[in-house]
Amino acid sequence: MHKPHYYEGVTIDARVAYQKPDLSWFTATVEASGVEQAHELLYRVNYFRIAVHALLTALGILTLYLAGTQAQGKSLWEQFGRPTVYFYLLNIFLVVVAAAGILLSRLPYYRYIYAIAQFKRFYADAQWIAYDRRIFDDVPDRYYRELQQQCLRFGFGLMEIQDDNRVRWLIEPSHIDQFRGERSRLPVWVAAAARTPPLLKKLRLPLKKSSSAPAAAPPVTPVPTDGLTDPLDVGAYLPMHVRKDDYAATTLPPIKGRKPWYRQPIRTIGRLRWRLRNAVRGLYPKEIRKRPGYYELPLGVVALGIALMTALGGLVWLQAQWTPELRPGQVAAAPDLYPLESAAGPEVSDAQPGVLSGEYDHNITAGEYDERAEADFKDADNDPIVEAATAPAGTLHYLHYAPGGTEETSYGCGPQGRNGATGFILLEGRYPVYETARERAMELNRQYEMHTAVLLADCLQEGAPGYLLYLGLPATTEAEANFTLRRFLREHNLLVEVLAF
């Protein structure tokens, strides 16, 4: 057993290593924790992993929700409008994150023990956890039970150090790797870091045999005793190539040094990876480096998070394409209605310069509208299409759409009559043809879910041509009509006029 050793972010408190008869290594590591290191054995909840998994759960639920809405051909932006839809989605996200976090925090999977996390990083033939018995005297029993359960689950040994320094064996380490070879093995030099050098399976020394036999040793010169001769005198000094025969053996040829880095690419790549990994770890805060495995996420979790965020972003973009203006190809899109739609360009119509092609012009005045309506009521020979006369029998006078889409028709004038000014209606427009007015009323009823009605103009003014389209229900007072008028303008951006009948 040897003193503590530090390797790859893991502190090995003690290790026992020896070579088997087949020269393979048996290595046992021990994580020893005293009362001062009680935090190494007491579990803590891994809130980081809980937060990540709760976020993935919320992203997955939002993705499925938006995917189902998109498959049904609907849009949350149409249902809630902006910016209400963003608060709606944010509320769902926060509620799911909170609920998932509370449920996941109760699972034993998220209980982190420092000593167990160290053993889960590297493989050894036997791994023991030794602890002082006094650690669990003042803590609840659930901490000790969790330590035992994790030791049994991962195949780690457990032993208790009693007051008289006697060892009590509690759990024997498993001889089968519970991780199925997924952990990294400790290098041989960690096990061989001992006083006795290890034996090598294949011993190859870079020595070459000498081609000549060693010469006999020169005779020993006796030490002069006359007191006049220098005992250290070696005679005349000769260069090496002259006294070559004085050597006992031929000098061994020199051996080349270490190979250059470009001739050993595998070792160079490994060294670069090691330096890069240590450089990245050097940027981590001390809190992360103190807890190995606490802030680590499997590759599958990271890939799932990226996939969910990409899918959710795409669905949000698709859903946000909805706008209040109908576009060709959309559900319930209606053809352009002249003169409610502006011409191809502002230069050929009386629309404002800022009005785009195909956009409804809300700034057309009543006078301009009436003049254009009169022109629409005449054919190519300038003869009136609808003459001022009493409508023939069987003509549909009144059509009403309720907010739910219920249709009501009448061959009479409905609730209105030519009895003077008895009420007010919010006139949306005058139409020369009944089918055009009916399509416009149906579209407004479907888009804004309001009362729409088509009335024969002759019902309010005898001999007036065409049909009237008005919104809402008739008002009895002018104040009520003005209030409804402002509400339509504010909520639906609809420009209507008040007509008394």
Burial class of residue 286 in the structure, from the number of CB atoms within 10 Å of its CB (0-12 exposed, 13-18 middle, 19+ buried): exposed
pTM across the whole model: 0.49
pLDDT (0 to 100) of residue 370: 44
Residue 164 lies inside a defined structural domain of this protein: yes
Q: Which amino acid is at 267?
A: R
CB atoms within 10 A of CB 401: 21
Give the closest residue to 118 by CA, choosing from 273, 13, 2: 13
Residue 291 lies inside a defined structural domain of this protein: no
Residues whose CB is less than 8 angstroms from the CB of residue 472 and which lie 6 or more positions away in sequence, other chains included: 425, 426, 450, 451, 484, 488
Residue 35 lies inside a defined structural domain of this protein: yes
Residue 204 lies inside a defined structural domain of this protein: no
CA distance linking residue 413 with residue 395, whole number of Å:
11
Residue 196 lies inside a defined structural domain of this protein: no
Burial class of residue 450 in the structure, from the number of CB atoms within 10 Å of its CB (0-12 exposed, 13-18 middle, 19+ buried): middle
* Domain boundary pick from 191, 219, 238: 191
* Domain boundary pick from 191, 221, 254: 191
pLDDT (0 to 100) of residue 97: 95
The whole-chain average pLDDT of the chain stands at 75
pLDDT (0 to 100) of residue 54: 95
Residues whose CB is less than 8 angstroms from the CB of residue 340 and which lie 6 or more positions away in sequence, other chains included: 360, 429, 440
Q: pLDDT digits over 421-455, tens only? A: 568 888 888 888 888 888 888 888 888 888 888 88
* Whether 486 contacts 471, CB under 8 Å: no
pLDDT (0 to 100) of residue 332: 47
Residue ranges for the chain with pLDDT beneath 70: 1-13, 178, 180-182, 184-254, 289, 324-394, 416-422
Give the closest residue to 457 by CA, choosing from 394, 406, 390: 390
Q: What is residue 135's DSSP assignment?
A: G
Residue 56 lies inside a defined structural domain of this protein: no
CA dihedral 355, 356, 359, 363 (to 10 degrees): 10
Give the residue numbers spanning the domain of 432: 380-500
* Whether 454 contacts 471, CB under 8 Å: no
pLDDT (0 to 100) of residue 1: 44
Residue 338 lies inside a defined structural domain of this protein: no
In the three-class reduction of DSSP (H, G, I as helix; E, B as strand; rest coil), residue 444 is classed as helix
Q: What are phi and psi of 335, to 5 degrees?
A: -70, 160
**Would you say the C-alpha torsion 135, 136, 139, 142 has a positive or negative sign?**
positive
Residue 208 lies inside a defined structural domain of this protein: no
pLDDT (0 to 100) of residue 2: 45
Per-residue tokens: 143: 């901490």
pLDDT (0 to 100) of residue 96: 95
Per-residue tokens: 418: 């030519």
pLDDT (0 to 100) of residue 207: 44
pLDDT (0 to 100) of residue 58: 95
Q: What are phi and psi of 370, to 5 degrees?
A: -65, -40
CA distance linking residue 46 with residue 57, whole number of Å:
17
* Domain boundary pick from 156, 191, 226: 191
The total domain count for the chain is 2
pLDDT (0 to 100) of residue 229: 66
In the three-class reduction of DSSP (H, G, I as helix; E, B as strand; rest coil), residue 12 is classed as strand
